[in-house]
Amino acid sequence: MPCFYFSTLSIIINTNRLKKQSGKRNHRSGKPLLLNIHLKLKSMPGKRLRLTLLLGMVGLVFSIHAQPEQVLSGQEDPYEEGLELYHKGQYVHAQKQLDLVAADVYNRNRETRASAEYYAALAAMKLYNGDARDRVEKFADTYELSPLRNQLFLAYANYRFSTKQYREAAAYYEKVDKFRLNEEDLNEYLFKKGYSHLSMEENKQAQKIFFDLKDKNSTYANSAKYYYAHLLYADSNYTEALTNFLPLQEDASFGPLVPYYLAHIYYRLGDYDKLLEVGKDLVNKATPTRAPEIAKLMADAFYNKGQYEDAIEYLELYKEKGGAMRTQDHFQLGYSYYRTGKYRLAIESFNKISRGNEAMQQSAYYHLGDCYLKVGEKQQAIKAFKAASEIDASPTVQEDAFFNYGKLVYELSDPYRDAISVLNDFLDYFPESPRVNEVNRYLANLYVTTKDYDKALLAIKRTGLSTPEMKEVYQKVAFYRATEIFNSLKYRAAIDKYEESLQYPINKPVVALSKYWIAEAHYRLEEYDEALEGFEAFRNSPGAFNMTEYNRSLYQTAYTYYKKFDFQNAATHFRNFAREADKKDPRLPDAYLRLADSYLLTGGYLVAADFYGSALKTGTREADYATFQKAECLGLAGKKDQKVAELQSLLKKYPNSIYAEEAQYEIAVTQLQMENYDQAITGFNRFIADHPQSDKVPSSKLQIGLVYSNTDRNAEALAAFQGVVKDYPGTDESIEAVGLARLIYARQNRISDYLDWVDGLNFVNFERSTLDSTAFNAAFDIYSAGDCNESVKALSNYLSRFEKGIFALRANYYLAQCANQLNQVSQAKQAYEAILEFPRNEYTPMALENVAGMAYQAKEYAKARNYYKQLADIAQDKAKRTQAHAGIMRSSFALGDYSEAAVHADLVLGMEVQDATLVLEARQMAAASYFEKGDLDQALTRYEEIGNTAEGEAKAKALYYKADILYQKGDYETSTTVVYKLIEDLPSFKEYKTKALIILAKNFWKLEDIFQANYTLDFVISSDYSPSITEQARNLKEEIKLTEQQAQEQKTELNRSNSEPIILNEGEGLMIIDESEEASEPMDTTLRNE
């Protein structure tokens, strides 16, 4: 409601009875007296703005007929003196004289005393004395019939009116007998009484009084008309208010105010043309604080007339002139932008609407969604249409919004809801909608294409499986879900889901593929018989022969036989695969290697050598292995020269190969076998020099002794054998060396020397050796029979008798193997540790591998890492070395040594590992290590690699961390894109999807889209996936709220410090005092129905 206030409005009351007198005033003459009373009017209820009225108040004429009084001769009359002092404005002294007269009952008559008491009361008012009211009441009680009584009530009412004590003024105006007042006094009386009621918000009484006064021929008429019109306006009687305001347009005092009222009234009456006619001129002339108000009315008028460009102009003018944009203003601006095709600007305005009536909110969200569609931002459109669909103010808008929401979810995969549920909800809420068939078509397609397979299966079951079409859809979706589970390495669960797909064998290719992957899962679970049956069932399925999986099944079948140690069948199937495979098939080199291995293990050495050569020709990545194995086959086939040549080729081509050590040793051994003794000795010595820590050093020294023995170089042979006994006491080589030395001593007829030498060896006792051999052989016979339970007992008994026995090393090995097989971890560990106390030997790598694994399982990560490092140093087998680096990687990560973990993860990846599971683990460990180290660039690269190569949960996890890293690096838009990819491609992995939504909310916050941030967090909280994630979402939402509140408070404080009150010049007739605690009344505008 507009409120208009006066600054200094001089309303002069001219009356014939009141004239300014010159000279001395005589109270007895009946001449008028002028009382100038400055009134400060409160122009409107509840507003603290001042109106000063300079009123020439009606002089009170009293004809006082004095009775004879006793006055001392030569003294001035106190009564006369009091009146003179009063008229001179010396009210204190006047009051003292007059009070004396009023109290002199003996010398003064009643009329004189009444006159004196009357003027004394007026003096009290002039002096603002607290006893003024008491004097008035006393006079009224004492002189009840005096004509001055009515005048005194009027004077006191006017006095209280001038001090803004409107309630008390009104009370005394009620005591005045208006019928005893002349016309001018009556008009003044009516105006002030009406204004007092207006000030007390007693509008009905005020309105009646102003009505009686407004059409009189009076100075107060226009003022009364103005306030009467104002009260009609306040009472929403706009037509009658308009009738009374129109005549005031030319009034000097009220004319400047009337156009404001007219603008509002035309607006209320819906007469927008009249409003625009008034407003166009007024908006340029309006005061700074009124200009926004008029601009807003103009904007509303244009908006309601559908002139949206003009509406935008005046809404922008409203903002420019300092108008506070309310929710409905943002809606009007947004809708105007929308209708004029300015969609980006419309989005800005619609996004500022978070409250207001439901109809407006629903319309705003609906049009916001359409704007996002127009600019191609469908993800944002989803949220807006969803918000509109949740409000039922307009069922038509709700249905249309819900349909658009569901359609977009179908097209894009909404982060917050699955499309199947949304579309099914639409069918539940709007079963009679004309869009039902279209929604059903979306659902039919969605069942096949969606990747949220579990929910798809449930939805299909709810829809029903009565038709072949729906059964086929179910078959496919179950197959897709099974494949997803398989890629997550959950093979048992995958088998169950593939079997579920096979319950509806409609699509024959899907049937065949299900059988293949069931077989593959059995293979991964090491259930080889079931795997063989499955691969055979697949190959017998219709259409299987033309599938790429057919040849793969041959390869996997061959491997299955290989794993079962059925090398003949393995060789057959590897040959079948090699024959059918494309020459560029990456599996072909491996197939040749395994084919060669199979022939090697079945005694077909030359055939094996040929296939190792085939592997080399096809570019196998294990060329060093193929070369070494080919050499071994040639040696076993009696082609020792060729063996040596191949081994020498290996050392030349692959000097750093893990097979180089073994190759160098084999060359020396083969030279010995070929009786090339000098080359053999040279070879063994070079081997010892190159590999001093090798477990084959004792054997090499023993072989050198044999060469010397075979060439009758007995002294050198004895020295070699004794050196072995000395350096490696108790080992198999030392025991063999003792026996070989005996032959030389016997050959030289030096048995006594031999006995003396042996007597000094603490591990050789012929009598005890016989018992040692007997006890060990008995235990070994039980072990050979495969009875591990009895073997553990027998071998334990042997070791308790012969702890340092000749066969202690072998006994500990057999004991460890059996105890491990029986899951007797403690005894196995003890036996493996005993092996490690011996000098390095053939069992050392195996013992290190097992104790390291046991320590890791016991969470003794530091000890495990130490064992794995020892294994890495001595392992000659590629598989063992890979396992060692993997163990170091895992142990280091568990210890929080991420640098070490990353190094060994990269070593594992650099070894061209065939095990896909280990490769994935190493990639994940490397990525996680770099992430924990804070090396975000490296971590990002590694997670991108995983995301491009992995499937299932591993891919979901990689995308989650990629999004998190991009957020930390400040690339919020790219991070948002990655989150959407995770949600769209891998919706079944709820943990990473839900955690990614929190990153999405952070991105929105950083991008200053608070609506989307809170919307996303509200979804996470309502989903309640896990207590920790829900709590994280709540905390982030609270952080956003507090941060935004602080920012708003700072902005408000800045605005307050920059703002100053706006005061118009008095010449304009208005003074507007800006008082911050008084908020403007909100404009009530009407939402246009579109």
Give the pLDDT of residue 130: 92
3-state secondary structure of 427: helix
Q: What is the pLDDT of residue 765?
A: 61
pLDDT in tens, 438-492: 887 787 677 666 677 887 787 778 767 878 888 888 999 899 999 989 988 889 9
pLDDT: is 17 or 979 the higher one? 979
Distances (CA, A) of 847 to 280, 674, 822, 833, 927: 97, 34, 17, 7, 31
For residue 767, the model assigns a pLDDT of 54
The pLDDT of residue 592 is: 92
Joined tokens for residue 841: 């030997």
- The structure tokens listed for 959 are 């995308």
Q: Is the pLDDT of residue 611 over 90?
A: yes
Using pLDDT thresholds of 50, 70 and 90, give the confidence band for residue 232: very high
Does 941 have pLDDT greater than 90? Answer: yes
CA neighbor of 729 nearest in space, from 754, 707, 760, 704: 760
Tell me what pLDDT residue 1083 has. 32
Q: Is the pLDDT of residue 520 over 90?
A: yes
Q: Is 356 left (phi over 0), alpha (psi -120 to 50) or beta?
A: left
Q: At residue 400, does pLDDT exceed 80?
A: yes
pLDDT at 795: 87
Q: Which of the pair, 27 or 776, is modelled with greater confidence?
A: 776
Q: How confident is the model at residue 838 (pLDDT cuts 50, 70, 90)?
A: confident
624, two tokens: 């060093």
User: For residue 28, is pLDDT > 50?
Assistant: no
Residue 731 confidence class, pLDDT cut points 50, 70, 90: confident
Across 320-336, average pLDDT: 88
Confidence of residue 415 (pLDDT cuts 50, 70, 90): low
At position 934, the amino acid (one-letter code) is G
Residue 875: band (very low, low, confident or very high) from pLDDT cuts 50, 70, 90 = confident
When pLDDT is cut at 50, 70 and 90, the band that residue 15 belongs to is: very low
| Sign for the pseudo-dihedral over CA of 809, 814, 819, 821 | positive
Q: Report which DSSP code applies to 1079.
A: P
Strand pairing partners for 53?
39
Above 50 in pLDDT, residue 17? no
DSSP 218: S
Is residue 384 within 8 A of residue 369, CB to CB? The reply is yes
Q: For residue 390, what pLDDT band results from cuts at 50, 70 and 90?
A: very high
- Does the pLDDT at position 346 exceed 70? yes
Tracing tokens 């941060």 back to the chain, one arrives at 1043
Average pLDDT over the chain reads 83
Among 324-328, 546-550, 648-652, 1068-1072, where is mean pLDDT lowest? 1068-1072
Greater pLDDT, 876 or 791: 791
Q: Per DSSP, what are the bridge partners of residue 707?
A: none
Residue 885 reports pLDDT greater than 60: yes
Per-residue pLDDT reduced to its tens digit, 525-573: 999 999 999 999 999 999 999 998 999 999 999 999 999 999 999 999 9
Cα(559)–Cα(1060) distance, integer angstroms: 88
pLDDT reported for residue 208:
94
Q: Would the pLDDT of 25 be above 80?
A: no
Q: Which long-range contacts (CB under 8 A, 24 or more apart) does 765-768 make?
A: 768/802
pLDDT of residue 807: 83
User: Mean per-residue pLDDT for 953-968?
Assistant: 93
- Residue of higher predicted confidence among 451 and 629: 629
Q: Which two tokens stand for residue 659?
A: 């097979």
User: What is the rounded average pLDDT of the residues 193-218?
Assistant: 92
Determine the pLDDT at residue 495: 96
- SS3 letters across 530-549: HHHHHHHHHHCCCCHHHCHH
Q: Residue 40 pLDDT more than 80?
A: no
Other CB atoms within 10 Å distance of the CB of residue 235? 13
Give the CA angle between residues 363, 364, 366 to the nearest 5°. Answer: 65
Give the mean pLDDT of 355-365.
Answer: 87
The per-residue pLDDT for 973 is 93
CATH class, range 77-160? mainly alpha
* pLDDT at residue 2 greater than cutoff 80: no
The pLDDT assigned to 540 comes to 94
Cα gap 758→47, rounded to integer Å: 124
Nearest to 27 by CA among 82, 69, 96: 82
Q: Quick: pLDDT tens for 739-764.
A: 898 888 888 888 778 878 887 776 66
Amino acid type, 1056: R
pLDDT band of residue 4 (cuts 50, 70, 90) is very low
Strands in 371-506 per DSSP E: none
Q: Is the pLDDT of residue 900 over 70?
A: yes
- DSSP β-bridge partners for residue 54: 38
pLDDT for position 658: 85
Does this model's pTM top 0.85? My answer is: no
> Using CA atoms, how far apart are residues 39 and 164, in angstroms rounded to an integer?
8
Q: Is the pLDDT of residue 636 over 60?
A: yes
Stretch among 58-62, 258-262, 416-420, 727-731 having the lowest mean pLDDT = 58-62
Tell me the two tokens of residue 839: 């000098």
Among 113-117, 239-243, 379-383, 408-412, where is mean pLDDT lowest? 408-412
The pLDDT of residue 873 is 86
pLDDT band at 79 (very low <50, low <70, confident <90, very high): very high
Answer whether 32's CB lies under 8 Å from 21's CB.
Answer: yes
The dihedrals phi and psi of 694, each to the nearest 5 degrees, come to -70, 150
pLDDT score of 1090: 34
pLDDT of residue 716: 92
Counting residues of the chain whose pLDDT is more than 70, the rounded percentage is 87
Give me the residue spans of the domains in the chain. Answer: 77-160, 693-766
Q: Which residues contact 988 (CB under 8 A, 6 or more apart)?
A: 451, 452, 453, 454, 481, 484
Q: For residue 875, give the nearest of 846, 850, 910, 835 by alpha carbon.
A: 846
Residue 680 structure tokens: 């053999």
Say whether 80 sits in a helix, a strand or coil: helix
Q: What is the pLDDT of residue 729?
A: 83
Percent pLDDT > 90 in the chain is 50
